[in-house]
Structure 1
Amino acid sequence: MKLTTDVCIVGAGPGGALLAYLLAKQNISVILLERFKEIAKEFRGEHLNEEGEEILKKYGLFEKIEELGLLRMERLEYWENGELFKTVLPAPNIGHLGIHVPQSYLLAVLINEAKKYSQFSLMTGTTVTDLIKDEEDCIKGVKANKEGKEIFIESNLVIGADGRHSIVRKRAGIDVTVRKHGYDLLWAKIPAPQNWEPAIKMALIDGMQLSLFTQAKGYIQIGWNIPEGSFPALRKQHFTPFIDKLAKAFPQLETTVRNHIKSWSDFVLLDVQSNSTDCWGKDGLALIGDAVHTMTPTGAFGLNSAMKDADTLATILTKQTISTVDLMNCATERKKAVEKLQAIQIEKEQTFATQFVIYS
C-alpha cells in the first residue's frame, strides 16, 4: 500500500496527537501513526502544569477535557514519621499545583477534535520500520507494517513523536546523550480512602523520595525512588518490611496499601534517565517530545514539554512552506527551554532531602 500526505506523525501520544490536530486545522494533510491498536493506553506522567493548561486553553481544548474529568492539586505536603510538617499552597493566580488529567481523556479529546477535519487520518496498530530517503539522504516518508502488510507513506515532513526509544530517531541516525540520575522509580496505584483530599504528598524514606499524587477517578499514584539498578536485589528480599515503611510514612493509607499492594508485582519499574540531543531533525524530519528530550518524572515536565513542542512547531508550519520552513529556529528556541527544565529537574532531585532538614 502506498499513501501520500503533507505530514506523517509517528506516535499518537499527547505531543503527536496535539500536533496532528493543529496541522489538520490549518488544512495540512496529516497521517498519525500509532503502533498500539488502542489509543487509550495508560501513562505514568499525567499531570498538567500551567504551561500545558495554557496551551490547551489557547485552542479551546481544556474545557472539553474538563467535562470528561480532571483533578486540581490544591496543595503540596511534606510528611515525616506519619506527621505533616509543611504545606505549600498554590499562587492565587494559578489556583493549583498541577492538574491530573487521565491521558485517555486527553488523547480522546485531541483525536476526536482532529477527526472533525478531512485532512486528518489515524492509523493504529501500525509500526514504523524504516524511513524513506532520496538519493541525497533527505527523508521523504516512512515504511510501516500494519497487520503484516507493508505500507509506504510519502510525506513532505516526518515528525518523530514516538517516545524515548524512538525508532524514527534511530533510523535517522541521530544520537542521544543519556544521563542517569542515580535512581529508578517504582510506580503503584491504589484506591484513595474516603474523604481523601486532593494533594501531592512527599516523604523521605532511607534518603530517597516517596511521592503520592491524587488522581481523578478516586486513585492515588505512588512514586517511590529507589537506588539505580537496585530492584533485582530488592525483590529478592521479603516484601513486608518494604511496604511497612510506606504505611509508617502515611498511616492513613495503611489499610488500602495492604489491601492493594501485596507483592513486588504490584509495582511497575521505571528506568529513570534523561536524554538530549543537539540534533532535533534533518531535512524532511523533526523530532518532538521524549523522542528528542526525555525527562525524568521530577516536576512532571515531560507531558507539558511535548505539547509545547507541538504548539511551537504548529505555529511555523503552513501548507505552503512545509518543505522549506526553517525547523532549526524552532528547535533552537525549544532546546534552550528544555535545557533549563532539565537543569531544574536535577536541582530538585539533588535538594529534595533539604526539605526535611528539620528532622535530620
Structure 2
Amino acid sequence: MILEADVCIVGAGPGGALLGYLLAQNNLSVIVVEQHETYDKEFRGEHLNAEGEEVLRAFGLYEKVEAEGLLLMDRVEYWHHGKVLKTVRPAVGEKHVGIHVPQRNLLSVLFRESEKFANHQLMMGTKVTELIMNESGSVTGIKAKKGDQLISIHSSVVIGADGRFSTVRKLAQIPFATISHGYDLLWAKIPSPVGWEPTIRQALVDDKQFALFTQAGGFVQIGWNIEEGSFPRLRKQSFAPFIDQVTAAFPELTESVNQHIQSWNDFILLKVHSSKCETWVNDGLALMGDAAHTMSPTGAFGINAALVDAKVLSEVLVEGFVYGDTSAEQLKIYELQRRIKVETLQNQQLVKEANFKEAFAVPVLS
C-alpha cells in the first residue's frame, strides 16, 4: 500500500494527536501512525499544568475534554507521621494546582475532532520500520507494517512523536545524551477512600519521595521513588514492611492499600531518565515531546511540554508549507523557540529532586 500526505506523524500520544488535529485544521493532509492497537490504555503522565491547560483552551478543546471527564486538584500537601506538615494552595486568581486528565479522555476528544477533517487519517496498529530519504538525504516518508501489510507513506515532513524510546529518532541517527536521575519509580493505582479530596499528597517513605495523585473516576495513583536499579533487590524482600510504612504515612489509605496492593507485582516499574538530543530537526523531519526531550516525572512537565511543542511546531509547519520550505532551517525555528524553555524545565526537575527533602524540614503554617 502506498499513501501520500503533507505530514506523517509517528506516535499518537497527546502531542502527536494535537499536532495532527492542528495541521488538519489548517488544511494540510495528515497521516498519524501509532503502533498500539488502541489508545484506551493506562497511562502515567496525566496531569495538566497551567501551560497545558492554556494550549487546550486556545483551540477550544478544554471544554470538550472537561465534558469527557477531568478533575481539578485543590491543593498539594506534604505529610509527615500521618499529619499535614505543609499545604500549597492555588495562586491568587487560579482555581487549581493541577488537573488530572485521563489520557483516554484527552485522546478521544482529539481524534474525534480530527475525524471531522477528510484530510486527517489515523492508522492504529502500524509500526514504522524505515525512513524514506531522497538522494540529498532529506526525509520524504516512512515505511511501516500493519499486521502483515507493508505500507509506504510519502510525505514532505515526518514527525517523530513516538516517545522516549523513539524509533524515528533511532532511524534518523540523531545523537542524544541520557541523564540519570538516580531513581526509578514504582506506580500503582487503588480506589480512593470515601471522602478523599482531590489533592496531590507527598511524603517520605524509606527516606524516598512518595506521592499520591488523586485521579478522576475515584482512584488514587501512587508513585514511589526507589533507588535506581534497586527493584530486583526489593522484590526479593518482604513486602509487609513497605506496606506498613505507606499506611503509617497515610492512615486513610489503610483499607484500600491492604485490599489492592498485596505484592510487588501490583506495581509497575518506570525506569527514570531524561534526555537531550543534539538536534530536534533534519531536512523533512522533526522530533517532539519525549522523542526530542525525555523528561522525568517530577512536576508532571512531560505531557504539557508535548502539547506546547505541538502548538509551536504546527505554526512553523503551516508557515513552511505556505513557502514550500520543509528544510531543517525552517524546522529549526520550532526548536529554537522551544529548546531553552524545555531544558530550563529539565534543570528545574533536577533541582526539585535534589531539594525534595527540604519540604519536610520545618513545619510551615497553611
Indicate whether the TM-score tops 0.5: yes
User: Normalising by structure 1, what TM-score?
Assistant: 0.98
Give the AA of the match of 1:19: L
In structure 2, the residue matched to 1:321 is 323
- Corresponding letter in the other structure for 1:341: L
Unaligned 5+ residue runs, structure 1?
A: none
> Aligned equivalents of 1:322 and 1:23: distance in 2?
15
CA distance in structure 1 between the aligned counterparts of 2:281 and 2:100, rounded to whole angstroms: 31
- Superposed displacement of residue 333, structure 1: 1.3
Q: What is the distance in 1 between the residues matched to 2:339 and 2:323? A: 22
What is aligned with 2:223? 223
Q: TM-score, normalised by structure 2?
A: 0.97
Task: Give the C-alpha shift of residue 142 in structure 1.
Answer: 0.2
1:24–1:117: 8 Å Cα contact kept in structure 2?
yes
Q: Structure 2: which amino acid aligns with 1:272?
A: V
Aligned residue number for residue 75 of structure 1 = 75
Q: 2:347 aligns to what?
A: 343
Q: Deviations over 1:167-219 (max 9, x none)?
A: 00000000110001010000000000001011000001222100000000000
CA shift, 1:286, in A, is 0.3
State whether residues 284 and 323 of structure 1, in contact with CA within 8 Å, keep that contact through their aligned partners in structure 2.
no
Partner residue of 1:281?
281
State the AA in 2 paired with 1:323. Answer: D
Q: 3-state DSSP class of the match of 2:362?
A: helix
Residue 322 of structure 2 aligns to a residue whose secondary structure is coil
Q: Contact 1:274–1:293 (CA<8 Å) still a contact in 2?
A: yes
Match of 2:302 in 1: 302
How many residue pairs align between the two structures? 359
Describe the shift of the 1:324–1:285 C-alpha distance in structure 2 as closer, same or farther (beyond 3 A). closer
For 1:269 and 1:96, the matched residues in 2 are separated by 29
Distance 2:221 2:325 in 1: 43
1:1-360 alignment, distance < 5 Å: 1-318=1-318, 319-321=321-323, 323-324=325-326, 326-358=330-362
Question: Which amino acid in 2 is paired with 1:357?
Answer: A
Q: Deviations over 1:299-322 (max 9, x none)?
A: 000000001000001112224335
| Contact 1:41/1:104 (<8 A) preserved | yes
Cα distance in 1 for partners of 2:247, 2:357 equals 20
Which whole-Å deviations, capped at 9, do the CAs of 1:64-118 have from their partners, x for residues lacking one? 0001110001101011111111111011322111000000000000000011011
| 1:126 Cα deviation from its structure 2 partner | 0.2
Q: Amino acid of the residue matched to residue 330 of structure 1?
A: Y
Aligned equivalents of 1:6 and 1:49: distance in 2? 32
Which runs of at least 4 in structure 1 moved beyond 4 Å after TM superposition?
none
The Cα shift of 1:272 comes to 0.3
Q: Residues of 2 paired with 1:125 and 1:329: CA distance? A: 32
**Secondary structure in structure 2 of the residue aligned to 1:123:** strand
Q: Distance in 2 between matches of 1:59 and 1:304?
A: 15
Note if contact 2:12-2:33 (Cα within 8 Å) is conserved in structure 1.
Answer: yes
**Structure 1: which amino acid aligns with 2:182?**
G
Residue type at the aligned position of 2:12: A
Q: Which amino acid aligns with 1:185?
A: L
Deviations 1:24-53 (CA, angstroms, capped at 9, x unpaired) = 000000000010111222210000000000
**What secondary structure is seen at the aligned counterpart in 1 of 2:361?**
helix
| Distance (whole Å) between structure 2 residues aligned to residue 39 and residue 202 of structure 1 | 30
Name the amino acid aligned to 1:149: Q
Is the partner of 1:256 in helix, strand or coil? helix
What residue identity is the alignment partner of 1:263? Answer: S
Looking at structure 1, the residues matched to 32 and 324 of structure 2 have their Cα atoms a distance apart, in angstroms, of 16
Q: Which amino acid aligns with 1:338?
A: V
Q: Do the aligned residues in 2 keep the contact of 1:182 with 1:227 (CA within 8 Å)? A: yes
Letter of the aligned partner of 2:156 in structure 1? N
Distance, in Å, in 2 between the alignment partners of 1:321 and 1:68 is: 38
Q: How many angstroms apart in 1 are the aligned matches of 2:326 and 2:110?
A: 27
Structure 2 letter corresponding to 1:78: Y
Identical amino acids, percent of aligned pairs: 55
Any idea what SS the aligned residue of 1:197 has?
coil
